[in-house]
Structures are given as C-alpha cells and as structure tokens.
Amino acid sequence: MHGWTGSILIADLTTRTQGVLHPSEETFRLFPGGRSLAGHLLRPRVGLPWNHPDMPVIFMTGSLTGTAAPCSGRCHVASRSPLTGAPGDASTGGNLGPALKAAGWDGLMLTGASDALLGLEITSDGVRFVEAGALRGADTEAVFTALPGWDSVACVGPAAENGVLSASIVVDRLHAAERCGLGLCLATKGCKFLAVSGERPMSVADPGGLAAANHDILRLFNASPALRGPLGFHRFGTAALCDLTAARSMMPTDNFRHTRFEQAGGCNAPALAARLLPASAPCPSCPVGCVQRTGDGRLLPGFDALSHFTALIRNPDPVLAVEAVNLCARLGLDPVSAAVSLASFAEITGRALGPERLLGLLEDTALGRGDGRLLGRGARRLAEELGKPDAAMTIKGLEIPACDPRGAYGLALAYAVSTRGACHQRALPLAHELLRKPVATDRFSFLGKARIIKLAEDQMAAADSLPACAPAFLAAGLEEYARAFTAVTGLSVAAGDLALAGERCVYQERLMLAELGFTAQDDDLPERFFREPGDQGEDFEVPPLDREEFLAARARYYRVRGLDDNGLPRRDTAEALGLAWTAS
Amino acid sequence: MDRILKSFAARLAAAGLAGPGDALFLGQDDAVACNEPGHPDRDVAEAALRALQASALVCVRPAEPYRTILDFLLTRHPEIITPGDCETRLFLHDLPVARDFSAEAMTGALRRRKGVILPGPRLAAPGSVGPEQAFVTVSSMCFAAFVLFFEEYLDDLRHGRTTPEQREAFARAVSHLPGARADRPALARGPFQDAAQARRAMLEAGRATVAFGLVDSYFGNISCKLGGVVHISQTGSSLDELAGCIDACPLDGSSCAGLTASSELAAHAGIYAADPTAACILHGHPRFAVILSLDCDLPDCPNRGRCHLDCPRPRRAGGAPVVPGEVGTGPRGLCHTLPPALASERAAIVLGHGLFATGRTDFNEAFAHLADTENACREEYFRRVRDLGG
C-alpha cells in the first residue's frame, strides 16, 4: 500500500508488551485514517468506563500524514471522554503524526494500565516502556526539556495526573490535543509521555500528481483572505477571528451573558502582535502557520483561548491571556474548558477574576487545590454542585468555544448536534456564516442549514481522516484533497467518496453515542441562548434563539442525517454506510 | 427556498447567461424545492441532486452567445475544456464534459468536480451551502468559455488554423454581443467627506459597473481610501448589492475586522501606497481586456503556459499595461505586480484576470478608465481579427 504503513502499534501498559494490528485494505477503504479509523477501533470498547484498563487511547494518522500535502501534519487522538462520557477525540498538530508515520506506524493504540508512571519510546522497532517516576508531577515544559533529541514528544502535565477531567495532551510544546480530557485518559493508563522518532520515507504512488494537487491547493490558500490575506491566520494566527466575532456581536462575554466586550479592540491579535512581535510556528507541511509564538518561545493564544481569557472573564489585558494560555500548556489544561469553568465559577460566586486570582485558580485546578478541585471537574459538574446548573455553558458536557450561537444559527445547530459536544470545527459554520466561504449565508436564519451542517460535518470528518487541518477548508475543498489522496495512495478517489467516508465516520460516532445512552435531549443548547438576547450590534439586533425554529431545524437535520426523531441511528442507514449495527 | 431559487434564476437572466425559463434551480434541506416545476430537465436534475445529497443544484441552458460558444468548444474539446483565465485556473481548474445528459452522468461528474458541461449544451453545478455557490460556478464557467473561445479564434487566425465551422460560430457569437457603450454614468463627485458618503459612492459605482457589463456576472471589487482607512467590498460580495458588504480596514493594521474583505485587499493597499494620489479603486473583469491580455504572438516562448506567473515582456492592451500575477498574496500574487504598474498609470490589466482602475477624487475617473480600456481592447481585438483576415 502507498500512503499507509498498514501497521498499528499496540502497547499494553499492564503487561508492558506490544503487538501489531494490520487492518485489512477494506478497513482502510471504509475508515481511511485519523478520526474515522480511531473511531472504528474505539467502537467495540466504547461501552466500557472511560478509566477501564481495556478502554484504549488511540493515536491515529492518515494516508496524507508525513507527505507534502498542505496541512496534513496532524494526529487524531480518541478514547472515551472522562469529561463528557461520550466518545472523545481531538486533533493535534506538531510533529507527532509525521513522526509516528516515519517510525512505520499508522497509529498507536494504548491499552491496559500501569501502576508505575511510564514513558513510551516509539521507534520503528516498536515501543520501549521506560520508568517515568522522576517526572511525576512535572509540568510539560520539564518533560520536553528532559526528552531532547526525539522527533516528537507528547505528554501530560500535572492536571492530568491530578484528575482534571478536561486535561489535555501537549505536543512539542506549542501544540495539543486539547479537548475532551484525553490527557486524563493517558494519565490513567500510567503514561506520562510518548517520545517518537523515525526515519522511514513516505511512499507516494504518484509524486507528480501530488505536486500538482498541492500546487492547486496552495493557490487557493494564497487567494484566501482568512488564510494568507494581510489580516489572516498566516500573519495573526487564528486569533485574527476575534475582531470578527466582536464586530458581529457574537464574542462570548461574562460567561455568555453578553456578546460584546467593550475592551475587545485592545485585546485583539494586532494589539498582541504589536507588543509581543510574534513569529509563526507552523506544523509540518503547513503553509499557513496559524500557531504563533513570541520571540522568547511563548505560545500566543489562538482564537478561542484569546477570546475566552479576555472577554469571557472580562479581562482587558491580552498579555495576561498569554500568561494564562502558557500556564495551561505547562499544566496540561484545555484553555477553553478551563476558561469556561472559571467564567461559570465567577458568575455563580459573584467574585471577579483578577490577574493573580486567575493564574492562581488555574494552578489550583491543575494541582487539585482548594476551589481548583471543583474547577477541575468542568463547568457542568461545577455548576451542578454549586446549585446553578444554568450557569454551565456546555453542550454534552463540553465547554463552549468562543462563538456565541445567537449570532449564527448554523453554528447553533452545529454546536447542538456535534458528536463530541460544543465545537465549531466539526461543521465549520464560521466559514459561510462569518467568513463568506465558499459563499455567504444568512447567519440569522435556519433556512437550509440542516443540510448545510450535515454536509459540512461529513466534509470535516473526511478532513480529520485524511488528515488535513480544519482551516485548510476555508480555502480548498474535498475536490482538491481527493486529488492529493489519489496521488498518495494510488486509489482513484473522488470528492464524493471522501464525503461518504466522512458520513460513515459521523454516523459511527452517532452509533457510539446511542450505545452510551445519548439522545436528542443531549443535542441541545443551554437555556440561556433561548431566553436572553445578545448585545445589540452596530446596526442589528441579536435576539434570543427561537426554540421552535431551532427544534424544527434539528428535526430536519435528523432526517437529512438518517436518524430517527429522537436523534438515534437507524439500522438501514447504518448498514447502507457499511457500519455494523451492533458494536460487538 | 422557492423565493431564493427564483432570485438566482433571475440573476442568471439579468447577467445575460440564461433566457427566461432556461435556468433550473433546485434546492433541498429535508425536502426538494424547484424554481421551474415543469422544466423538462427537472427529473434528471432532481435525481442528480438526490444522489449528490447537495443543498442545491443548477442546470442551465445558456443563452446566446454562450450557447454557440459552448456548442463549438464541445466539438473541439469533447472530453475536457481548459481555459486559461484566472478564475478557471484558481477555482475550477478546468471544465469537464459529460457525454450524455443523464442523472448518472451528471452525478458522476459532480461527485468529482464543481461543475460540468453536458450535451444541449447545458451547464450544471451543485452547491453544498446553497444555490449561490451553484450560481457562481456556472457563471464562472460561462465567462471562462467566452474568453477561451475568442482567444482561441484570434490565435487560430494567426496560425491559419481556423475552420469554416469555427468562423461560422465566431460570426454567430459576435452577432449576439451587445454593443460597446460609449456613455458614462454620472457618479457621485468627490472628495468624500466621511465614510457614509464614500460607502454610498461605492454602492453606486458597483451598480454601474455591473449595469455596464464590465464584470463577470457581478464579481469584482471596489474600494475607497478615506484617511487611514480603506473601505473595501467583502469577499464574494455582489458589486451591485454592496449594502452591508463593505469592510473598513485600517491601514495601520490595528484590526482584523476586515478578514472578510476582498481577497485583493493587499493589492488595493499596495496600490494606495504606490500612488498616494489614488482615492478609489475599481476592479472588474471586462471580457475583451481579459481576452487581449491572454493574446500573445510570440512563438515558442519559454514561459508559455506560465504567462500569468512569469511573463517578462512589457505589454499593453487598450492603452493599459498588462502584468502577470495570481489572485491573493502568494509569492507571485498580483499584490506584488499590480501596485508598481499603477504607481504612474490609472489602469492596469492583470493577465487573464481583469482590470484595475484608480480615481483621484471619486469613481467617475476610475469608471471611465475601466470602460474606456475595455472599449479600446474590444476595438483592438476586432482590428487584429480583421488584420488577420477573420
């Protein structure tokens, strides 16, 4: 095979043994990699408790990983989320995916659990289990410093070791699998880090065809105002989006009680750039470089983190947001979940978050001290335990990122039906509702949005399975990436074939959700969005969402997706997509 | 949904791309809607829409001269048509051709590509986010075919390759061309005192540019500099419907709110920097300026096929300089090539793409340069045809 190595490394932390899984070519055809293949491997075990030793933690690359296909340097991580109870997954940049592939592995599946803290050294020879007790409690920076010379290092920080439900996995200092608490999954297995190196060259079926496809993709990137324009991600990172959500009155402020932040202009990406002189820190094969760092190596916050560590908690100092984000990276916290939990806490307790208190609470969260113990349980549990469940701005238990759904109705629907919980990348509605790509849609209308969201979910699931980074799809599409996939694998594939693989991936997640007891009741938004208006825009109102219209759009989505009226999978749809009806 | 589908059919008609009743638009969320329920192509198109699961699909029998143009191009390029204009190069890559008009053929092609040419001739395109996306694709296909047809004819004349069928098609296509317009609109006079005045002038100039046919459908962009702020049309906006679609972009880069601005924002900013007297910029895609920019009589040029990137030859068309450059900000982007050309000129043509014109106080001057250059290019095109015996 070209594109895949055909081998998935299995590491059992209980027995400290290893094995190799060789999926069939048919499996790779149905589940081409990344999110879809990780989901396929997760499904038979998804009914187990998240912390059961047999619950795997899966790292998965795809056929494009390690090639020159633009934005393909990704790795998908999946397990059952301790935060949400649902299947949890997150994509990370950095060199982890390319390094795994260069070591000869399409993926890595961790099973079992070790009482002792271990590190996993992964090469083309397989895995070596090494004692990591000396790194117990160490922050991620200390881990990276202790492990020089590896092509990639992924690790957990003290947050995961101390049981924070939203703990992240930090990769190569500047990147992370942030969402869904996968860091805690790794720590529960007794794994502190993965260190990966490899030298195997990637096998590409048609190098000339790949070069031609890449050329067309790069041309589209260059024509994209969002990716390569003078105000775009290439220059300012994804934080460039903050000015847009501020102008559209959809910047979550004060724990989503407002949608405009008066100090937004002083907290934007250009303000940060003027003070901190950022440089791009691109992932392998990425011509965009949306991850930015300062000259002294500090990570600059992306869109969600900058917005949430300023507007959401009413902090007018963007440099404090930089400190908070870097603290999160060192402690192994998901900045979105951490910020939303803090904002909920501030709302419920009525106590503002000054600079010292903010940084102190983040540290307390990761170390399990004082109020941090409650914050580490996430916004939903925190709000329930404090008797104010309405103050939890979560969907399926996952904290909501930095776009207010009252300002974009496709986003509202996408948030609600997203299989992993609140996420604006699962269907990328910001593309058409804010960025006007491929064309603009009316952001204050549900008209046509059910199908638009379903199709975009399929596209983004396909992207996560190639893999290719979500922002790439603000410019290119599956048409162009199908050509890259065909050139790499030698398999003639059309955009429609990739979309079908994406549809299968999403439906597989729907099957897992149903097996875990999730229903339409979970495909919903916090009541606040239906009850309270957003702040008035320059020349427009932001009314509360109309619940009847929302429910009607969700019902249409269920029909388009081939689900029943309760949002549950149908046997005929599952089988038509080549999916087993039962997990066993 | 019905209202939206009908509005896009009306837009195709207004752009001269389809006659009344010839543009079939289908859309679906959880049920299919259609602008022409009795249209003879409906069953095929609806079957394709359902198979593709798309949000929208357009199937159009183009009006003249596009019908004649496509009929001829299909005889010459039965498998695939490869125009050299910028829009095709960037978004469409080329124009695939299906052998028969059936749901299977349409579905097969559109599972791979953004649009397809079918027998009839018909053009079909799906939209994943609604009918506008389908509209944009078929409109771009018409423009690309138009440019290729006239460009190829001139080149074939030069090399003695024209056929009787081609000459006949050319004469028929030309007979359907609207006449060149010598009149000019009276646009708002500058200098503009505030942003509101400038924006009103932009709306007016945008509408005039579309009304005079100086664009491909309604695509193009427009800006006005006021103080340290460039007011510029948003990406993908309609030049004739700019209300609410203008971004204010501070030139000091203090805000990214213009992230939705035209993909040519960098070029506009570069032009204002290169020519401090420029107060406004108008960019359209006038057909004959684009065609003439692609016409080259150099045999065996080492850059053939790469003219849009590397053409080193100083050239002019219709009195304006022709420069290479791709859309956007890449290393060969027109943001690098265009500003130097407009430092001392009021109009310049980007090869295979379109024309940028500037005005010192208001859009009257920019509009005049846009229209005059296009008329001069049109005259020059037909002079070359005549000189070559066509």
Model confidence over A84-116: pLDDT tens digits?
999 999 999 999 999 999 999 999 999 999 999
Beta strand spans in A306-434 (E):
394-395, 398-399
Whether the upstream peptide bond of residue B331 has omega within 30° of 0, thus cis, is no
Question: Does B112 contact A at CB distance below 8 Å?
Answer: yes
> Are A556 and B30 inside 8 Å of each other by CB?
yes
d(CA A200, CA A100): 10
Question: Does B3 contact A at CB distance below 8 Å?
Answer: no
CA distances to A102, B274, B318, B336 from A107, in Å? 11, 52, 60, 43
At the fourth CATH level, the homologous superfamily of domain B2-175 is Class II aldolase/adducin N-terminal domain (3.40.225.10)
**Which residues in chain A have Cβ-Cβ distances shorter than 8 Å to B255?**
231, 243, 265, 268, 270
Please tell me the number of Cα atoms within 13 Å of A112 on its side-chain side. Answer: 16
- Is 80 exceeded by the pLDDT of residue A583? no
Lowest mean pLDDT among A210-219, A514-523, B81-90: B81-90
Instruction: Tell me if the domain spanning A8-196 has CATH number 3.60.9.10.
Output: yes
Question: Does B256 contact A at CB distance below 8 Å?
Answer: yes
CATH 3.40.225.10 domain residues, chain B? 2-175, 195-387
pLDDT in tens, B29-53: 999 999 999 999 999 999 999 999 9
Angle A15-A144-A129 (CA atoms, 0-180°, nearest 5)? 15
Question: Does B50 contact A at CB distance below 8 Å?
Answer: no
Interface contacts (A, B; CB < 8 Å): 161
d(CA A558, CA A567): 6
Q: What percent of chain B has pLDDT over 70?
A: 100
Q: What is the mean pLDDT of chain A?
A: 96
Q: Give the domain A239-403 fold.
A: 1.10.569
Give the pair of three-digit tokens for residue B365.
Answer: 């001057």
Angle B293-B294-B299 (CA atoms, 0-180°, nearest 5)? 120
- Is 80 exceeded by the pLDDT of residue A584? no
Q: What is the mean pLDDT of chain B?
A: 94
Nearest to A231 among B130, B234, B258 (CB): B258
Angle A517-A518-A519 (CA atoms, 0-180°, nearest 5)? 115
Looking up tokens 């099957």 gives A511
**Which residues in chain B have Cβ-Cβ distances shorter than 8 Å to A559?**
30
**Which residues in chain B have Cβ-Cβ distances shorter than 8 Å to A459?**
128
A134-160 burial, b at 16+ Cβ within 10 Å, e below that, comes to ebeebbbbbbbebbeebbbbbbbbbbb
Closest C-alpha to A394, from A448, A440, A339, A320: A339
B-chain residue closest to A451, CA distance: B29
* Other residues' Cβ atoms within 10 Å of the Cβ of residue A543: 11
The mean pLDDT value for B178-195 works out to 95
Looking up tokens 């009743």 gives B21
How many angstroms away from the CA of B340 is the closest CA of chain A?
18
The answer to whether the beta carbons of residues A96 and A193 sit under 8 Å apart is no
How many angstroms away from the CA of A270 is the closest CA of chain B?
5
- Return the DSSP state at A308: I
pLDDT in tens, A22-58: 999 999 999 999 999 999 999 999 999 999 999 999 9
Instruction: Tell me if the domain spanning B195-387 has CATH number 3.40.225.10.
Output: yes
> Are B263 and A497 inside 8 Å of each other by CB?
no
Question: Does B132 contact A at CB distance below 8 Å?
Answer: yes
CA distances to A319, A340, B213 from A268, in Å? 11, 19, 41
pLDDT in tens, A243-259: 999 999 999 999 999 99
At A541, the amino acid letter reads E
| SS3 (DSSP) at A389 | helix
How many angstroms away from the CA of A514 is the closest CA of chain B?
22
Interface with B, mutate which of A268, A436, A449, A565 (most B CBs under 10 A): A436
A-chain residue closest to B330, CA distance: A222
Residues 6+ away with beta carbon under 8 Å from A396 = A84, A86, A418, A420, A421, A422, A518, A522
> Are A479 and B112 inside 8 Å of each other by CB?
yes
Give the pair of three-digit tokens for residue A258.
Answer: 């407002």
Closest C-alpha to B295, from B373, B378, B381: B381
**What confidence tier does B299 reach under pLDDT thresholds 50, 70, 90?**
confident
- Is 80 exceeded by the pLDDT of residue B307? no
- Is 80 exceeded by the pLDDT of residue B322? yes
Q: Give the domain A406-576 fold.
A: 1.10.599
**Which residues in chain B have Cβ-Cβ distances shorter than 8 Å to A243?**
255-257, 259
- Is 80 exceeded by the pLDDT of residue B252? yes
d(CA A378, CA A340): 8
Question: Does B269 contact A at CB distance below 8 Å?
Answer: yes
> Are A229 and B263 inside 8 Å of each other by CB?
yes
> Are A459 and B253 inside 8 Å of each other by CB?
no
pLDDT in tens, B118-164: 999 999 999 999 999 999 999 999 999 999 999 999 999 999 999 99
Provide the residue ranges of all domains of chain A, joining segments of one domain with +.
Answer: 8-196, 239-403, 406-576
According to the model, what pLDDT value does residue B84 have?
Answer: 87
Provide ipTM, 2 decimals.
0.93
At B42, the amino acid letter reads R
Beta bridge partners of A127: A122
CA distances to A40, B26, B64, B72 from B121, in Å? 45, 19, 11, 10
The whole model's pTM is what? 0.96
According to the model, what pLDDT value does residue A262 have?
Answer: 96
d(CA A459, CA A283): 22
Question: What residues 270-329 of chain B have any CB closer than 8 A to a CB of chain A?
Answer: 326-329
